[in-house]
Structure 1
């Protein structure tokens, strides 16, 4: 079996930018369509290794966080809900707690962002980031926290060409790099199938300049009833991936 979600090779985050076509406006993940790494992944200086290393996973599966006072009340409330849902859906495999003075700088800072939603990928023993605007939904914030836990986008995995075609001719100029594919030497694999229903999969219209699909599923690859680019809840494989990574 092919491995599912990709572990990051530098630290990643999801950021968003205004969108200007109808397909994006109707897309719940459009707030992640920025011009960072793969659109919504913020680089972290000094992060050169991928998350194949267990040292880049949060110790004990506990994400330590600090909420900035500048974060909107809406984003704060949704962040706390997103944390609770991840803990519930992973049946306690992943937990969250507020940082204390004894944590030093080893926490993820949840901060305000004028527009869009983004986060760094993985644990690095120093401060990382989740950046949120009041428009970020609970599901999108769950997506960002999965980046924090060390998960890359589904459509970036090394075997993606067996499942989708990237239609670069439909991608906004300057955003082509958001569809880079990771090599198997950069990402970890956990024997999970490609998951069109993952909360970490982008919409078929991500970064579209003309309302046409940029991620085109190959014939017969999408299971019946699966919504591509959903932000409603973690899929079965999203949960399985975190449990495999964090050994619980």
Structure 2
């Protein structure tokens, strides 16, 4: 996974070979593909260029930081009318806060790295959470509208909500890294007509920060093997035999490390 500064989890040697947390059935992640955004579920702020089409070839020229101020995400959940759905969203937020927490040197208590909280009445910069078609989220902080959209009958699983919250924190999809061809193969012949742009690699350059993270097959931000398939055959195959991709269970250790790094938290 990599972030919207744009921060790339970029390293040309090494990759995560751990057994994935869990494989995922394609039906679980299809709703992300129907979100109507860039690569299915990403809503790019108006000031951000398509990260795979920056005209100079030097990466994405992005105005301003993408981290949320004070590492805090105020939110409005009032449009989510089902209490069970609210509880699941807030549980996913609590999980992200808990697992990304860190212990400061000399202390024994865990300090949150990122915090989600209900917005106050005098706050105008916040995340609006609502029902929608498919699953989608604004990537990173912006002064423009910031939304998290969840389809009631497809997006309400803890892992999918954590995936979308990670977009909110400022991260893109793992399989679009510029070095991805070392680790996966895109079967373009199996990609549905008109969906090939979802498999473009991102460009990087002067505006890209290198987090020195290994390619992470286990990332909660990785496409599944059959994403945008036209014929039921895999569109993405890991170059390492037996490695599965596309889990939507929980943040991987690398996901956690990258969020901490992006938000300046000491691990």
TM-score (normalizing by structure 2): 0.77
Question: How much has 1:86 moved relative to structure 2?
Answer: 0.2
The alignment's C-alpha RMSD in Å is 2.4
- For 2:147, the equivalent position in structure 1 comes to 129
In 2, Cα distance between equivalents of 1:129 and 1:71: 16
* Structure with greater proportional strand content: 2
Question: How much has 1:208 moved relative to structure 2?
Answer: 0.7
- For 1:56, the equivalent position in structure 2 comes to 66
Give aligned pairs, total.
225
Match 2:246 to one of 229, 237, 247: 229
Query: What are the within-5 Å matches in structure 2 for residues 107-186 of structure 1?
Result: 107-113=126-132, 115-134=133-152, 135-136=154-155, 137-185=157-205
Q: Rate the CA distance shift 1:174–1:74 in 2: closer, same or farther, 3 A.
A: farther
Match 2:234 to one of 210, 213, 217: 213
Question: How much has 1:147 moved relative to structure 2?
Answer: 0.4
TM-score (normalizing by structure 1): 0.82
Q: Is 1:189 the equivalent of 2:210?
A: yes
Q: Rate the CA distance shift 1:109–1:51 in 2: closer, same or farther, 3 A.
A: farther
Report 1 or 2 for greater relative contact order, CA contacts < 8 Å, sequence distance ≥ 6. 2
User: Greater CA radius of gyration, 1 or 2?
Assistant: 2
- For 1:13, the equivalent position in structure 2 comes to none
In 1, Cα distance between equivalents of 2:42 and 2:218: 20
In 1, Cα distance between equivalents of 2:79 and 2:235: 38
Partner of 1:191, secondary structure, is coil
Unaligned stretches of 5+ in structure 2?
A: 7-23, 52-59, 102-111
Deviations 1:18-62 (A, max 9, x none): xxxxxx964422211124211111233233495977721011211
